Amino acid sequence: MRVAYLVQSHAHPALLARLVRTLRAGSDGTILVVHDACRARLDESILAGTGARVVQRTTPVLRGDFSMLDPYLEGAARLLADGDRFDWLVYLSGQDYPVRPVPAIEAGLAASAFDGYLAHWDVEAPGSPWPPQRAHRRYRYQYLRLPSAFAPSLALLHPLEAVTPLHCYRTYGALVGWPARRPPFSATFRCYGTWMWQSLRRPCVEVLLEVLATNRSLVAYYRRTVVPDESFVATVLVNSGRFRLANDNRRFADTAEQPGGHARALGTDDFERLTDGSFDFARKVEPGKSDELLDALDRRVHGGV
């Protein structure tokens, strides 16, 4: 059984190097780093000796946009094109960190009865954790992205939002939207929510890439929604009906009451919760705020506790 790790990064090279070296110490699988070089080019020498492969992307990644998913999908396609023989693809951010020994994480994947660890919910069902209006405006609207300089001016459209279906987002730039004429969702093709990071068996990854290549209308639709990274993967895989998916991504992140949905930087007070056996990885770790936590996790991860 072979695991591939796809790490999507944009900042904090020292943290990225620490993550990659920790993964390599416990795994002989592929490590592919897909880095947003629009923010800052990555000095690949910091990963020397790890065997990690690096893709430096020069296409901007924008929050709330399908471009958040492009590095993952492009990286997965590259692994398949290169003939990488992975059984599981573990998708991480550059500010994730394992909270269990990596060999134990891989042993759990090898023994799993599931095809993927992917938190998911029907966004229009009563049990959805999202308010109905959030899901409706995210995924039943189509948006035009304006230059970011227009964001303050969108407040001028607020009177129209009160009397028309027009909706503007300013959290993710400057987005102006209107209800979609023909949403792709129906009683037999539901819209699902998810969190961005997950672990999937190879057949799930292959289905994702097949849909990306062949169902262009669905992809084009999602490219004009808001925060498609919190819906597209789950909507494709759950509606396929082909996979047994655990409704759990085995990641810890605390986004409660955080501005714009950003995860809170973790510290030593979180150690007991992170290591209670419920999680494989946690995010986010941050320089200066998570240093002691990372040292404690290293003792656990490298010590095999």
Predicted confidence (pLDDT) at residue 305 exceeds the cutoff of 80: no
Average the pLDDT over each of 24-33, 111-120, 251-260 and give the range with the smallest value: 251-260
**pLDDT, tens digit (0-9, with 9 covering 90-100), for 254-299:** 876 555 667 899 999 999 999 999 999 999 999 999 999 999 999 9
Q: What domains can be seen in the chain, in order of their start residue?
A: 3-122+189-303 (3.90.550), 141-179 (no CATH)
* pLDDT the model gives residue 100: 96
- Rounded CA-CA distance 42/39 in Å is 9
For residue range 157-192, list pLDDT tens digits in order. Answer: 888 988 999 999 988 889 999 999 999 999 999 999
Q: Return mean pLDDT, the chain.
A: 95
Measured CA to CA, the distance from residue 232 to residue 224 in angstroms comes to 12
Q: What pLDDT sits at residue 257? A: 52
The pLDDT of residue 151? 86
Kindly report the three-state secondary structure assignment for every residue of the chain: CCEEEEEEECCCHHHHHHHHHHHHHHCCCCEEEEEECCCCCCCHHHHCCCCCEEEEECCCCCCCCHHHCHHHHHHHHHHHHCCCCCCEEEEEECCEEECCCHHHHHHHHHHCCCCEECCEEECCCCCCCCCHHHHHHHHCEEEEEECHHHHHHHHHHHHHHHHCCCEEECCCCEEEEEECCCCCCCCCCCCEEECCCCEEEHHHHHHHHHHHHHCHHHHHHHCCCCCHHHCHHHHHHHHHCCCCEECCCCEECCCCCCHHHCCCCCCHHHHHHHCCCCCCEEECCCCCCCHHHHHHHHHHHHHCC
